[in-house]
Amino acid sequence: MEHVEWSEQPDLNNAILLAAFTGWNDAGDAATEAVGYLSRRYECRRVATIDPEYFYDFASVRPNVRLEGDERRIDWPVNEVRVGELDDGRPLITVLGIEPRLRWRTFSEALVTIAGQLSAKTVVTLGALLTDTHHQAPVDVIGASNNEVINLELALPPTQYEGPTGIIGVLNDTFHRANFDSLSFWAAVPSYIGHNPSPKAALALVQRVVDFLDIPLGATDLQIAAASYDRQINELVDSDPNLAEYAQQLLDDTDEEFNDLEDNPQAMIDELEQFLRQQDE
C-alpha cells in the first residue's frame, strides 16, 4: 500500500475491476479509450492514484509542465483508480494509466492490493494490437484467461503462447495467482493506420465487456465516433494510391483465417502471439 495514495476508501462488495494502459499494448488508443468511456459512462470518481516515482524512467516518460494562472504546474505520469456503479448496482473499479517502465512485479502487487482493498472479484484487462485487417471490416476481439472455468464458460481457447509479454500479461498472471477471476480482451487494429485513434476498436472492446458483464451498452457517442472514423479513414486511404492499393489487397484476400474470427478464432490468437514476439525484437 506504500505506493498507493488514497483520497477515499469506499466499502464495496463483489466489484468488477477494469484496466487498460497506454503503450504498445494499446494500438489506436482503443483499450484506454474503452476504459475511459466506461469510466465516464458510469460516472466513476477518483479514489486513488499510484505513485509514479517507483515505476517510471522520467527521461523516457517525461512529466509535462503547464501554466495554471500565474503558477507553473508539473503533471507526472499517473495511474488513476476510479469507482462507479453499473446499471445493475454492481460496483465498477477502473484503472487507467501508462504502462510502467520499471518494477512490474511491484506494480502488479500494488494493483492486487487495491483490488483486495476494494473487494473486487473479477478483473478484466483490455488491449489492442496491430494486425493485417481492413479498416472497414468488423473488429475482431479475442479473449484470453488463465482460468479454466472462465475459458469453459466463455468458450475461450486456452493459449499455448510462449514468449515476450506486456504489463497486461503480467497482471493477468498475478491476479490469477491471487485467486481473482481474471481475463483479458484484445481488439485488432489495422496496421496501416495504427497511429490514428480507433474509436471503432474501442467500441468493439466496450461491446465485448458489456456482453461479458450482461449490461446495456448505451454507447451512442462512441458509436457516432466509430462511424466518423470509418469516413475519415476512407478519405485518408483514397488520398494515398499506395495505401489504397494495400487496403484493396486486404479486401481481396479470401483467406478466412484472418478475416473470419468466428470460424477460426485461432487465427487472431496467432496474430496476437506474433505481435508480442515482435515487440521483443
Contact between residue 182 and residue 143 where contact means Cβ atoms under 8 Å apart: no
Helices 220-238/199-213 angle, 10° precision: 150
H/E segment holding residue 269: helix 265-280
Sort 212 into a burial class: Cβ within 10 Å, 0-12 / 13-18 / 19+: middle
- Cα diameter, the chain: 60
Three cell numbers, residue 19: 484496466
Stated length of the chain: 281
Q: CATH for 4-280, among 3.40.50.2020, 3.30.2140.20, 3.40.50.10900, 3.40.630.30?
A: 3.40.50.10900
Compute CA distances 141 → 33, 132, 144, 156, 208, whole Å: 15, 14, 10, 11, 8
Could you state, in order of their start, the residue ranges of all structural domains in the chain? Answer: 4-280
Per residue of the chain (281 residues), give pLDDT as tens: 689 999 999 999 999 999 999 988 899 999 999 999 999 999 999 999 999 999 999 988 889 999 988 899 998 888 999 999 999 999 999 999 999 999 999 999 999 999 999 999 999 999 999 888 877 778 889 998 888 888 888 888 777 777 888 899 999 999 999 999 999 999 999 887 767 788 889 999 999 999 999 988 876 777 787 777 777 777 777 676 776 666 667 666 644 444 444 455 555 555 555 555 555 54
96: left (phi over 0), alpha (psi -120 to 50) or beta: beta
Backbone angles phi, psi at 26, to 5 degrees: -140, 55
Q: Number of C-alpha atoms within 13 angstroms, CB side, residue 70?
A: 0
